[in-house]
Amino acid sequence: MAPTFNVAVFLYPGADVMDFTGPVEVYSTRPADGSASRFKIHTFAHNNPVNTGSLVYVPSNTFEDVEQRLSDFDFLVVPGAHPDVLDEYIPSEEGKRTIGLIAKFATLPPRKETGHRVLQSVCSGALLLAAAGILAGRTVTTHHICYDALKRIADQVSGGDAKVEVVRKRWVDAGFTGEGVRIVNAGGVSSGIDTSLWLVEMLLGKEAFEWTQEIMEFERRGEADGWGVKKA
């Protein structure tokens, strides 16, 4: 029987709505045969409800619950927010706990049932990954207005040059941790949809990707199609 991927989606005040609803839409799309989605969504937050500034959400799990069962989740989706929001959030107590959870997730080997574990940032959510110290030595991306901030945070955590290369791409497969966790960064906002569709294709195959894209009526852009990259 095909495995189900447990997807933990983190919510926090001020988070950009499409950063997390885009991936959720992709992962919750049912297959062509009408069976249940191969991805089970679990939202979680420090607070309940969560006010993003435009909409209010009721997460399905507490932060503590996911923290205690972290090894049960195959995906961790980390959305971004306006840089001003993250400047305040990262040094806060909740921010520190979030960064700790991200760092711990990056050390957990994939579950035997699925064989995969993915840490997926969307937009400026990559700044939280940088603050967790797991982007050092990697090629990464984020929202185009946050390139400098991503490098700055990674260097601060490393205590010097983190050797992070920030590139203008739609998404970046930043490689694996030593424990086998794949790190994937989406660019700004809607890039999270493209990235999630790419992950569906990688994990479930081209047919599943094409079906999901068709149902969503969304045409995926390529990995190299970062915002502001001119076409020939």
What range defines the domain where residue 81 resides?
5-216
From the list 204, 205, 185, 203, the residue with the least C-alpha distance to 195 is 185
Q: How much is the pTM?
A: 0.97
Question: Is 127 domain-assigned?
Answer: yes
In a domain, 232, yes or no: no
Provide the pLDDT for residue 1: 62
In a domain, 49, yes or no: yes
Q: What is the CATH number of the domain that holds 170?
A: 3.40.50.880
What's residue 2's pLDDT?
Answer: 78
In a domain, 50, yes or no: yes
Is 223 inside a domain boundary?
no
Report if residue 97 sits inside a domain.
yes
**Number of domains composing the chain:** 1
pLDDT on residue 144: 96
Q: Please list the active-site residues.
A: 123
CA distance linking residue 176 with residue 167, whole number of Å: 18
**Any domain includes 146:** yes
Residue 191 lies in a domain: yes
pLDDT at 231: 54
- One digit per residue, the tens of pLDDT, for the chain of length 232 reads 678 999 999 999 999 999 999 999 999 999 999 999 999 999 999 999 999 999 999 999 999 999 999 999 999 999 999 999 999 999 999 999 999 999 999 999 999 999 999 999 999 999 999 999 999 999 999 999 999 999 999 999 999 999 999 999 999 999 999 999 999 999 999 999 999 999 999 999 999 999 999 999 999 999 999 988 765 4
